[in-house]
Amino acid sequence: MAKDTPLAIDVRGLNKHFGARHVVRDLALQVREGEIFGFLGPNGSGKTTSIRMICGLLTPDSGAGSCLGLDVMRESREIKRQVGYMTQRFSLWEDLTIAENLDFVARMFGMPDRREAVTRALADLGLEGRRNQLAGTLSGGWKQRLALAACLLHNPRLLLLDEPTAGVDPKARRDFWEEIHRLSAAGITVLVSTHYMDEAERCHRLAYLAYGQMLASGTGDEIIAGQRLSTWAIEGGDAPGLSEALRALDGVEQVASFGTRLHASGQDAARLTASLNAFCAERHLQSEPVAPSLEDAFIHLMRTSTDPDA
């Protein structure tokens, strides 16, 4: 993605309080047009609130910026027209049929060629034969596809997807992400929040949020590099007690399992290497230095982040 591509989202200093809780702190975010931007962070880190503020569903308490060239503080209604927002939970009407749901959404966005748009969306979904089925009777994967179709109906320039693949099987998830990449290639900007590492790796750029603050952002490689971690992979990770023993070593800050291998990471490479070499020699374990993965980086971020209010 070229650096001079115009920005779809450009906000600074966004804040939101719910009562006494400060849920989003000074959020600054730049997303380029046509980019797939991933939002990561633990539950309750402010991802959903951030997305809602950007798409005009919530008014920020303070801050400034633009979304699709429109002011986020004042032009939320105009923003809504050009944004497709897919909620975390299935939020179409379960007691309406598939076709009725699409038709209703098309009406809400005041589409002039409503019928054709609905027919086209049904054809793209491959659901023409089931157009009169109640949305509530669809399986999880189909609900997700219908929800995506509904928020693409009005040809938005920006898609905001809030944990779109939660509870969806791997095949449907892969199909979903192929669709996201197709949309991105067609010029639609996508902001997506997720908990899955494989999905994070499919994003062009990422941001990591915790306690309402953005702790890191950039490409996956930039975020990994930013944590200045050294990582060793140790074979035999399924041995009982091994990960606890590793964690107790000097210089090891975190241990994460990847299948049968364990990743031990720390920021002080020399101390980490010294203690691991001694430990592995003693226990006859195979170990080798590896490039830290995105997951190692996120575990590090999650571990070192602290609640400013606590």
Partner 1 sequence: MSNFSLSRWLGIVIKEFTQLRRDRLTFGMIVGIPLLQLILFGFAINSDPKHLPTAVVMHDTGPFSRAWVAAMENSDYFRIVGTAASDADATALLARGEVQFVVSFPRDFNRDLVRGLRPQLLVEADATDPTVAGGAISVLNQLGQRVFTPDLPGAQRPPGAAPGRVDLRVHRRYNPESKTAYNIVPGLLGVILTMTMVLMTGLAMTRERERGTFENLLSTPATAFEVMTGKIVPYIVIGLIQVTLVLLAARGIFHVPMRGSVLLLYALVLLFICANLAIGITFSSIARNQLQAMQLTFFFFLPSILLSGFMFPFRGMPEWAQAVGNLLPLTHFLIMVRGVMLKGLGLDMLWSQVGAITAFILAVLAVGIKTFRRTMD
Q: Which is nearer to partner 1, 78 or 175 (CB)?
A: 78
Q: Checking DSSP bridges between strand 230-234 and strand 261-266, what pairing results, if any?
A: antiparallel
Minimum distance of partner 1 from residue 162's CB (angstroms)? 10
- Cβ atoms within 10 Å of 53's Cβ, excluding its own: 27
Q: Which is nearer to partner 1, 31 or 83 (CB)?
A: 83
Residue for token digits 């090891």?
A: 252
Stretch binding partner 1 (CB under 8 A), from 101-109, 137-145, 272-280, 299-307: 101-109
Among 105, 152, 206, 255, binds partner 1 (CB under 8 A): 105
3-state secondary structure 120-163: HHHHHHCCHHHCCCEHHHCCHHHHHHHHHHHHHCCCCCEEEEEC
According to the binding rule CB under 8 A, does residue 89 interact with partner 1?
yes
According to the binding rule CB under 8 A, does residue 64 interact with partner 1?
no
Stretch binding partner 1 (CB under 8 A), from 104-112, 238-246, 257-265, 289-297: 104-112
3-state helix, strand, coil in the chain (%, to 5): 40, 25, 35
* Length in residues, the chain: 310
Full strand arrangement of the beta sheet holding 7-18: 21-32, 7-18, 62-67, 70-71
According to the binding rule CB under 8 A, does residue 92 interact with partner 1?
yes
Instruction: Label residue 273 exposed, middle or buried (CB < 10 Å: 0-12, 13-18, 19+).
Output: middle
- Please name the residue ranges forming H helices in the chain: 47-54, 76-82, 98-108, 114-125, 140-152, 170-185, 197-201, 220-226, 242-247, 269-283, 294-304
According to the binding rule CB under 8 A, does residue 71 interact with partner 1?
no
Single-letter amino acid, residue 84: G
Distance CA 166, CA 143 (A): 12
Q: Which is nearer to partner 1, 155 or 260 (CB)?
A: 155
Range 110-129, binding partner 1 (CB under 8 A):
110
Q: Which is nearer to partner 1, 62 or 277 (CB)?
A: 62
According to the binding rule CB under 8 A, does residue 43 interact with partner 1?
no
According to the binding rule CB under 8 A, does residue 109 interact with partner 1?
yes
According to the binding rule CB under 8 A, does residue 55 interact with partner 1?
yes
Residues 6+ apart with CB under 8 A from 218: 205, 206, 226
Minimum distance of partner 1 from residue 187's CB (angstroms)? 21
According to the binding rule CB under 8 A, does residue 77 interact with partner 1?
yes
The tokens of 306 are what? 């602290």
Count of residues that bind partner 1 according to CB under 8 A? 21
According to the binding rule CB under 8 A, does residue 108 interact with partner 1?
yes
According to the binding rule CB under 8 A, does residue 85 interact with partner 1?
yes
Stretch binding partner 1 (CB under 8 A), from 29-37, 50-58, 201-209, 252-260: 50-58
What does the binding site for partner 1 look like in residue numbers (CB under 8 A)? 55, 57-59, 77, 80-81, 83, 85, 87, 89-94, 105, 108-110, 151
